[in-house]
Every structure is written in C-alpha cells, then in structure tokens.
Amino acid sequence: MDSHVLQEYLDDHSFPIVVKKKKTYLTYEGLQDRYAYILKSGTIKTSVISPDGREFNLRYINSLEIVSLLRDEYSQFIDAPFNIRIESEQAELYQIDRVQFWKDINQSKELQMYVKDYYRVRLMYSMKKMQQMLMNGKFGAVCTQIYELYDTFGVQIEDGLLIDFVVTNEEIAHFCGITSASSVNRMMQQLKDLGAIKIQDRKIVITDLEILKDNIIL
C-alpha cells in the first residue's frame, strides 16, 4: 500500500507516540480502548485467542500502517479486535483519538481513499489466508507461512533469501493452526532435506523458493 497520504497526515499533526518494549502488549482482544494506533517503527504481531485458549497468529507488521481496526465512527470506546504484541526490541506507535481520526478522515478525500484501500487490502489478505489454510494442508500451510515471512522480512544474500527476523517453530505453528511445535519441527526438517531452506544464526534462509511454491496453492 502507498502510505504517503498517511505519512503526510501524521506529519501535519503532533500525535503522541507510545513506545513499547519487546514481548509487551499494546492491546488485548476484547479490551476497551478509545484510540487508533499507527505503527511508526519496529515490528508487531497480531493474534487472537480461540475459545479453548489457544493463540492463533494473524500477521507480522513492520511498516507504517494502521494496526487497530477503526470500527464505527461514533463510539468513543470499542473492544480491541485482537492482541497486538511487540516483537522487535521496541516499537513506536502513533496514538490517535479514534473519533477525531474518523472526523479527519471524513474531511479528507485522500485519507478516505487510503482507508478504503486499507480495508480492501486487509479483506483480500484475510480471504487469501483462509483459502491457503483450507486448501494447503499442514505442510503447505508451513510453506505458505515461510513464503509470507519472506514477503515481510526477506533480504537477498549470497546463499539465498534471508528471512531477517527470528521466528520460532512455535510461532509458525500458531500461524498455521498447528497445535504442536514438534509437528512444525518435522516439517522444517523435511524442507531442509529437500534443500528448500536452511537455518543460519537462528534465522531461516530460503535456498530454493521454487520448492516452497510447489507446495503452496497460491
């Protein structure tokens, strides 16, 4: 998404900035909050909790983006739709009164177009994620998640494509709806044996992207 309109809006205002440390939470699912948040720097993770208490990861965010849904325009307080946890050493987020944010959006055609695009992209992402989860099976889901990590954190290096962020097998399991990290361990070993990936300084290096793609229904 082209975020220059959002950046210009932020530059024109003096919104307070919230600074959070690694592994702390900005919001919890169901907790009432009166603010909208926009990521300024760092990496965060969104997740939800299933009725039986299991955590299901939604996505990592590491660029300028609205990270809390806006819901309706008039309610001062809303229930947070998901957990937001800090995954980098620290993260900075703009904190904006959500009712005022909506007023500003309604007064700016550029902001309106940005927010419409934001929801369109998020909807398409959610639909694609659901399709991949339903159609790929567990092994395909792991391959899909590694590919998504490459999209978010991928850096070209001499040996392949480095996912420049430490992601544990347990976290991958939570992204894929797999209850046991040991299952992911086996699938990661299978990908190593196939020559698709290797581990370097606790980070995943994709050595053959085509093998991942062959196991994904995109």
pLDDT tens, residue by residue, 36-53: 999 999 999 999 888 888
Both tokens assigned to 98: 């959500």
In Å, how far are 12, 65, 121, 195 from 115, measured between CA atoms?
A: 18, 10, 10, 42
Long-range contacts formed by 108-112: CB under 8 A, 24+ apart: 108/9, 110/5, 111/5, 111/6, 111/9
Per-residue pLDDT of 87-132, as tens digits, reads 999 999 999 998 899 999 999 999 999 999 988 988 888 887 777 7
Q: How far is CA 170 from CA 62, 109, 150, 209, in A?
A: 20, 43, 18, 22
Give the pTM.
Answer: 0.88
